[in-house]
Structure 1
Amino acid sequence: MEMIRRFHTKNGTAYAEHGTGEPLVVIHGVGMRLEAWAPQMAVLGRSHRVIAVDMPGHGESRPLPQEARLEVFVDWLGLFLDDLELERANVAGHSMGALIAAGAAATFGERVSRVALLNAVYRRDAAASAAVIERAREIRAGQVDVDGPLLRWFGADCRESDVYRLTRRWLSSVDRAGYATAYAAFASGDSTYADCWPNVGCPALFLTGADDPNSTPAMARAMADAAPCGHAALIEGHRHMVNLTAPDEVNAILLEWLAKPEEMK
């Protein structure tokens, strides 16, 4: 997959876009880059203006302060919408990007036409929370494990796939400081906006891999049940990187979500 041409906002966010029409802003996960959305840009860009962003400290985007929590990443997204003069947009996020998308729906929902969370975490149990917080501490200390996350994301039988190799290359080359900041916000952010869903009236999609051990089907269903216009979708036989490992299925589900009428608040 070739690097996609980027543009830069006046506030230092790198982004790429494809297509015209109703805007769809897509946000990748920790350790990745906007190219992770290439399969969605190619297809959804036929009917929408798809805008993929490099999360702060990733790709070519300016980092946030080291202590930035999830709320600061949500503020960053709001500023990005301002920079592109987008009064309203559809917002989709994957993993950490999903937490940012949830924060957008919770804090400036009047600007969010529809929201989609792919492989999102939601109210981790005590053991999962302790594990991810410990990983955040290790990353901050410079102990970066590349293969551990990939094993959770793909499973052991996918190591020879092109997508696995591509994702490994992105994770291996990520800026370590930016990665540490984002991962710390990810580790502590699963409950930050967890109570927002009863108040989110727009079409809300919660999609995950049926075999994802961390962003579980139970989490997706719980969020969908809490949102007035929520819908859970599972991709059988896939784990965490569903937008790359099952792009056709994901694109079809996203197109169906984008076709739903907006629910105005």
Structure 2
Amino acid sequence: MTSTTLLLSEPYGPVTCQRAGQGRPLVLIHGVGMQSAAWGPQIEAFAQTHEIIALNMPGHGGSAPLPEGAELPDYVAWLHAVLQALNLGPVSLAGHSMGALIAGGYAVCHPQNVARVALLNGVFQRSDEARRAVEARAAEIRAGSFDLETPLARWFGGSPADQAARAQVAEWLSGVNLAGYAAAYTAFARGDCTYADGFAGIRCPLLALTGDGDPNSTPAMAQAMADSAPQGMAVVIEGHRHMVNLTAPAEVNAALQDWLNTEGATS
């Protein structure tokens, strides 16, 4: 695996990523507070057959932050600039959590550049109550409150696999750039409906995957995303929560392999 820095023009600046393997391109986008290494089990599995590009989101992992006040469309525009610079042609695009919001928005806005899209632990048309709660957390983060334990308790159970992943995720969260974290979380809080009406226009194979114990990226949301897209499919991993790609890598990788094997009109 090779660490690479792309030097984009303003307003984006440097973008860091991990690259591995050869073959058809598979682009991975992590969630808020994480970094490209959060895709470790997927990079190891799919670098055998694909060229993997695991991006660090703006303000994370050494990538430059977006300007103050950035919203989800600004992150989608950032991804477009990255993919244009990489000049890969249509890609298989997978995102986790905030990365899923970016990936879904990108598939809506730039369908010609997406062969298939996978949305792991994504959010979709939150209830008013859920939106108020996540926007309140975003406001606290912008005010400088950094609560490590609350997200960890929400994301992980008590199994040995969960606890091992929790320790690694805690390390990543502890080292996050707070300004980048706050900006991305704010866009995450406000972005669950931004592109929802456009999912009907996503003609490529779409995988919506989550854990049955994820209270915020719920199975109902995954099913709603899948139902909204012509080639949508929902997968729910039982006994797992928000960081399902780390706590249930074998099951997630099997679902991703099926998705990668699904041919669509833009593949």
**TM-score bin (small chain):** over 0.9
Which residue, out of 3, 8, 22, partners 1:6? Answer: 3
Within the alignment, does 1:201 sit opposite 2:207 as a pair?
no
Deviation per residue, 1:137-173 (Å, 9 max, x gap): 0000000111101111113566982211100010111
Deviation per residue, 1:208-253 (Å, 9 max, x gap): 0011100000000011111100000010000000110001111111
Partner of 2:265: 263
Alignment of 1:98-117 (within 5 A): 98-117=100-119
Give the residue type in structure 2 aligned to 1:66. E
Partner of 1:69: 71
Within the alignment, does 1:34 sit opposite 2:36 as a pair?
yes
CA contact (8 A) 2:2 2:20 kept: no
Q: Report the count of equivalent residues.
A: 262
Give the residue type in structure 2 aligned to 1:138. E
Which residue, out of 60, 63, 69, partners 2:62? Answer: 60
What RMSD in Å do the two structures reach over aligned CA positions?
A: 1.4
Partner of 2:11: none
Alignment of 1:1-265 (within 5 A): 5-11=2-8, 12-155=14-157, 161-264=163-266
Q: Measure, in 2, the Cα distance between the counterparts of 1:241 and 1:231.
A: 20
How far the C-alpha of 1:60 sits from its partner, in A, is: 1.0
CA contact (8 A) 2:119 2:208 kept: yes
How far the C-alpha of 1:126 sits from its partner, in A, is: 1.0
TM-score by length of 2: 0.95
CA contact (8 A) 1:22 1:89 kept: yes
Question: Any unmatched runs of 5+ in structure 2?
Answer: 9-13
Deviation per residue, 1:169-193 (Å, 9 max, x gap): 1011100000000000000000000
How far the C-alpha of 1:264 sits from its partner, in A, is: 3.0
Q: Measure, in 2, the Cα distance between the counterparts of 1:158 and 1:117.
A: 26
Give the residue type in structure 1 aligned to 2:157. G
CA contact (8 A) 1:119 1:207 kept: yes
CA contact (8 A) 2:161 2:247 kept: no
Give the residue type in structure 2 aligned to 1:46. Q
TM-score by length of 1: 0.96
